[in-house]
Structure 1
Amino acid sequence: MQIVETTNEGLKRAYTVTIPAKTITGKIEGEVKKIAPQVKMPGFRPGKVPANLVKKLHGPAIHQEALNTSIREAMDTLMADKALRPAMNPDIALADGYEEGKDAELTVNLEVLPQIEAPSLDGLKLEKLTVPVSDDAVTEAVERIAKQQQRFETKDGAAEDGDQVIIDFTGKLDGVEFEGGKAEKAPLVIGANRFIPGFEEQLTGIKAGEERTITVTFPEDYQAENLAGKETTFDIVAHEVKAPAESKLDDDFAKELGLESLEQLQGLLRGQLEQETAGLTRTAMKRSLLDQLAAGHDFDVPPTMVEAEFSQIWQQLTQEAANEEDPAAALAEIEAEKDDYRKIAERRVRLGLLLSEIGQVNGVEVTAQEMQALMGQAAQQYRPEDRQRFFEYVQQDPMVAAQLRAPLYEDKVVDFLIEKADVTEREVTREELQAAIEADADGEKPASEAKPAKKAPAKKAKKADDAADEASPEAADGEDKPKKAPPKKAKKADDAAEEATLEATDGEADEAKPAKKAPAKKKAAAKED
C-alpha cells in the first residue's frame, strides 16, 4: 500500500492512498472460500460448488465487501503510520474509473486534533458561593403548595371573581349544538382565564340553580376550524357556587398530601431547596473555572468541529425563532448576532478539547457501568423493540459513543478540577448568587458549559386530548396556562413539593405565567440550562 501526503496545513491533512489490486483480489478469494461451503446449486453437492460459479453468482457483493474491508484496513494503517488523531470522520473518496482488477486509489481529507499542553493545576482558585435555606423560604414553599392545592367551600349568594362555579354548559353555533361543546358539572374558577375570552366574565353574579345564556366569540386561531372566529352561544346551568377556603398549614394539610406531618413536608421542601441552590452554586463555580481555563489557552481548533457545534446552536435558535409571535423579527434578531454565536461555538470546542486533555492526563474516565447507564437512559426515547438496535449502534460507532459520553466526562473533569482548586467559601443570598450567574451571561460564555440563551417560546394553541376538548371553551385563548391541581388527594406530596420549590425562593414574580419574549442583549449570550 502506498501513502502520499498531499496537504499539511495547520490542522488540515490530505493523502492519496493506493491499495494494490492483488490485496483486493486476495480478499475476494478469501471471501469465496469462506462462503462456498454454504452455497447451494442444482447439480452440485453442498460445499462442492466450484469457486468460479460462486463468483458468478455472488461476484458483485463479494467484490464490494472485499473493497470495503480493504479500505477500512487502509485507513487503520494510515492513522497508525501517521499518528493521526482525526477531529471528525475523514472524508474518503474512491477515484473515478475504478473497476475490479485494478488498484484502488483513495483521496482522504481530514482535520486532526491540535496538540494541547495540559495546564498546570497549581494556583487554580475558586470561590464557592453558598446560600443557606431560611425558614422563611421553606414557609413560602409550603404556602405555594397550599395555593396550588386551593380548596373551595360552598357559599350562598352570587359568584364573584376568584370563586368556583360548578356548571353544565351546552355550546351552539347558529342555534345548533356543536361537537365537544357540552359538559356536565364542570368546575370553573372565575378569573382564572382558563376558558375563551368573555366566557368567565359573563358568569360573574350567577347563583346556584340559575340558568343563563351567554354569547362568546372563539379566537381566530382556535384549533377547531369550524369554530375559529365564530360567534357562539352557551346555555349555562349553575349547580353550585364555591368560595376559596383558607388552607391551614398544619398536620392535616400535610396528611392531605400523603405525608405524616407538617414537619415532614417542611423537611422535604428544605432538602429540595438545598439541592436547587447547590446546583446554582456549582454552576457559578463551573463558569468561573472555565473562564480561568479559557483565559490561559488559545489554540487552533478544527473548523469542522466548530461548524458542527455552530450548526447545533443555530438549529436550536432558528427552531425557537419559528415559534415566536413574530418569527421574522426573532430570526432577524439572531441573524444580527450570528458571528457572536459562531465565536461561542469555537470557544465551546476549544474548552471541550482542553477538558478532554486534562482528563486523559489525569486518568479521569467514564466507567463501563456509567456508559451502560447513559445508553440505557438515552434508549428510553425509542420504542422497546428498537432499544437493542440503539445499543448496537452506539457500540459500533465510536463517534456516537463519544457524543453520548461527552457531557458526563466533562462533568467528571470539572469535579476533578474543583477538588484540586484552592476553594474559598462565602455565604451569599440567593439573589446575589443568581446575579453572579447572570453577570456571566452578559459576556462571552464558557463554551463547553453553556448553551445559547433561550428565548421565551411563542404562545401555542392548546392541544386537546380528545374531540370534545377541541371544541370546548377551555383554554381556547391560544395560551398554555398552568392547570391548578384539583382540590383532592390526587397529587403526590413529592410532586407538589417539587413544583413549589422551583419557585419558592423567588417570590411572587416567578409564578407561572404566559411566557414573555426575552429582551435582546447587546451581545449574544449563552447560558446553562
Structure 2
Amino acid sequence: MQAQLEVLENLERRLVISVPREEISKQVDSRLKRVAKTAKIDGFRPGKAPLNIVAQNYGFRIQEEVLGETVERAFGEAVEEQKIAVAGYPRFEPKESENADADFQFTATFEVYPEVKIGDFAGVEVEKAIFTVGDAEVDKTIDILRSQRTRFERVERAAADEDRVIIDFKGTIDGVAFAGGSSENYAFMLGKGQMLPEFEEGIRGMKEGETRTVTVNFPADYHGKDVAGKTAQFEITVKNVAGALLPEVDAEFAKSLGIEGGDVAKMREEVKANLEREVRQRLKSRTKENVLNALLQVAPIELPKALVGLEIGRLVEGAQSDLKARGIDPKMMPFAPQIFEAQAKRRVHLGLALAELVEANDLKAQPEQVKAIIEEMAQNYENPVEVVAWYYADKKRLANVESMALEDGVVDFVLGKVKVVEKAIDFDELMGQQG
C-alpha cells in the first residue's frame, strides 16, 4: 500500500492511496471459494457449482465487499502511519483506470483537527457575580411558595386582575364564526397575558352572569394565520369570578412544606438553606459561563466544518427528542439546521479549547472535589447518606460527577489567571424571575 498526503484549503486534506490489485484479487478468490462450498445455485447441488458459475452469481457483491473493507483498512493504516488527526468522516472516491491490472487507487478527502493554542489570560477580565441571601429574599421565596398553594373562592364583585374567571365566548369575523373562536367554561387568570389585551380588557369589571360584546384586533403576526390581521367580535359571558386566597404563614403552612410540628422559624431556616444552595449554583453557573467566554477569547480556532456539522446533527436530534417527549410529532415542526449553527460552533470551539487547556496544564478531577459536589447534590434529598452511596456505587455515575469536578477545576484555573471583577447582582435577575 502507498499513500500520498495532499494539503488542500484550510483544514482539508486528501490522501491518495494505492493498493496492489493482486492483493484484492487474492481476497476475492478466497471468499469466492468459501462461498462456493455452500452456495445454492439452480441446477446444482449445494456447494457443487463450478467456481466460474459461483463468480457469475456472487462475484460482484464479493468484490464490492472486499473493496469497501480494503478502503477502510488502508485509510486507517495510512492515517496511523502518518499520524493524522482526522476530524469527522472522510469522503472516499475511487480513481478510475483504463488498465484493469493497475493498482486499485482511491482518494480520501477529510478535515484534520486544528492546532489549538491557548493565549495569554493576562489583561482579560472575568465578571464574578456576588449575592448574599437575606430575610427579604427568604420572604420573597415564601411568597412564591404561598402563591403555588393559592386557592380560589367565588366572589360577587366585578372581575379584576389576579382573579380566575370562567367564561363562555363566541367569536365572529364579519358575522361568520371561525375555527377556535368559541369555547364554553373556559378558565384563565385575568391580567396574566394569557389572552389578547383587548379581550382581557373587555372582561375587567364584568360580574358573574354578565354578557358583553368585545372587539378584538388580531395582530398581523398572530400564530393563527386564518385570523391574523383581522378584527373579530366576541360575545363573552362571565360564569364565575373567583378571588385568590393565599395561605397564611402559620403552622399549617409550615407542615405543608414538610416541617414536622409546623415550626415556622425552622421553616424559614430550611427555606434559607435551600435558597442559599440554589443561589450558589446559579452564581457558579454565571461565573462558569463568563470563564468559558474568556477562554474562547484567548483561543481563536479554525473550526472543522465536519465537526460543526456533526454537532448540528446532535442538536437537531435533541430538539426532536424534546418534542417527542412533549407528545409533539417532530414532522409537524421541522427544524432548519441553520438555526443551530451558532450554538454548534460554540460547542465545538469550547470542546477543542477545553481539551487543550486540560491536557496542557495536566488538570484532573480531585477526589475531594468529587466528594464535595456529591454531598452538595445529596442535600436536596431526604436521605443524603443514601444518595452519596448511590453515586459511589456506580462508575458511570461517578464519572459524570468527575466530569463536573474537572469543569470546576478549569474554572478555578482560569480565574487564577484573569482579572476577576466582582459585581453584585439583582435577586430577580439571578433567579430568572424578572417581570
Q: TM-score, normalised by structure 2?
A: 0.64
Q: Which runs of 5+ in 1 are unaligned?
A: 121-125, 317-337, 366-406, 436-500, 512-529
Aligned to 2:374: none
Q: Is the 8 A contact 2:363 2:406 kept in 1?
A: no
Aligned to 2:393: none
Q: Does 1:223 align with 2:216?
A: no
The DSSP-based 3-state class of the residue aligned with 1:94 is strand
Aligned residue runs from structure 1 range 407-426, under 5 A:
413-417=406-410
In 2: Cα distance, 1:233 partner to 1:133 partner = 48
In 1: Cα distance, 2:212 partner to 2:48 partner = 90
1:171 to partner: Cα distance: 4.1
Change beyond 3 A, Cα 1:228–1:149: farther
In 1: Cα distance, 2:268 partner to 2:53 partner = 79
Question: Highest relative contact order (Cα 8 Å, sep 6+), 1 or 2?
Answer: 1
Aligned to 2:82: 82
Aligned residue runs from structure 1 range 120-269, under 5 A:
131-147=131-147, 149-171=149-171, 180-208=180-208, 210-217=209-216, 219=218, 220=220, 221=222, 223=224, 225=226, 229-236=230-237, 238-253=238-253, 261=262, 263-264=266-267, 267=270
How many residue pairs get aligned? The number is 367
Q: Is the 8 A contact 2:128 2:286 kept in 1?
A: no
1:22 to partner: Cα distance: 0.9
1:69 to partner: Cα distance: 1.0
Change beyond 3 A, Cα 1:203–1:11: closer
One-letter amino acid of the structure 1 residue matched with residue 214 of structure 2: T
1:72 to partner: Cα distance: 1.1
The DSSP-based 3-state class of the residue aligned with 1:198 is helix
1:25 to partner: Cα distance: 0.9
In 2: Cα distance, 1:280 partner to 1:143 partner = 22
In 2: Cα distance, 1:412 partner to 1:113 partner = 26
Aligned residue runs from structure 1 range 382-401, under 5 A:
none
In 2: Cα distance, 1:79 partner to 1:176 partner = 71
In structure 2, which of residues 275, 280, 286 is the aligned counterpart of residue 277 of structure 1? 280
In 2: Cα distance, 1:351 partner to 1:253 partner = 46
Aligned to 1:355: 354
Aligned residue runs from structure 1 range 10-49, under 5 A:
13-49=13-49
Partner deviation per Cα, 1:157-201 (whole Å, 9 max, x = no partner): 333444443333344566666665444443344433323343332
Aligned residue runs from structure 1 range 63-102, under 5 A:
63-97=63-97, 101-102=101-102
One-letter amino acid of the structure 2 residue matched with residue 35 of structure 1: V
Aligned to 1:61: 61
Q: Is the 8 A contact 1:352 1:410 kept in 2?
A: no
Determine what percentage of the aligned residue pairs are the same residue: 24
In 1: Cα distance, 2:241 partner to 2:235 partner = 18
Partner deviation per Cα, 1:376-420 (whole Å, 9 max, x = no partner): xxxxxxxxxxxxxxxxxxxxxxxxxxxxxxx99985643344577
Please identify, of 70-79 and 166-175, the stretch whose mean Cα deviation from structure 2 is larger. Answer: 166-175
Change beyond 3 A, Cα 1:145–1:34: farther
Q: CA RMSD in A?
A: 5.0
Change beyond 3 A, Cα 1:30–1:141: farther
Aligned to 1:496: none
Q: Is the 8 A contact 2:18 2:103 kept in 1?
A: yes
Q: Which runs of 5+ in 2 are unaligned?
A: 121-125, 317-340, 366-399
Partner deviation per Cα, 1:268-309 (whole Å, 9 max, x = no partner): 5742552343343254256447747964x67xx555359938
In 2: Cα distance, 1:194 partner to 1:349 partner = 39
In 1: Cα distance, 2:289 partner to 2:119 partner = 17
Aligned residue runs from structure 1 range 336-347, under 5 A:
none
One-letter amino acid of the structure 2 residue matched with residue 90 of structure 1: P
In 2: Cα distance, 1:271 partner to 1:290 partner = 29
One-letter amino acid of the structure 1 residue matched with residue 233 of structure 2: T
Q: Is the 8 A contact 1:305 1:349 kept in 2?
A: no
The DSSP-based 3-state class of the residue aligned with 1:199 is helix
Q: Is the 8 A contact 1:197 1:216 kept in 2?
A: no
Partner deviation per Cα, 1:71-115 (whole Å, 9 max, x = no partner): 111112211221222234334322134786542112344444456
Please identify, of 195-204 and 73-82, the stretch whose mean Cα deviation from structure 2 is larger. Answer: 195-204
Aligned to 1:371: none
Q: Is the 8 A contact 1:130 1:278 kept in 2?
A: no
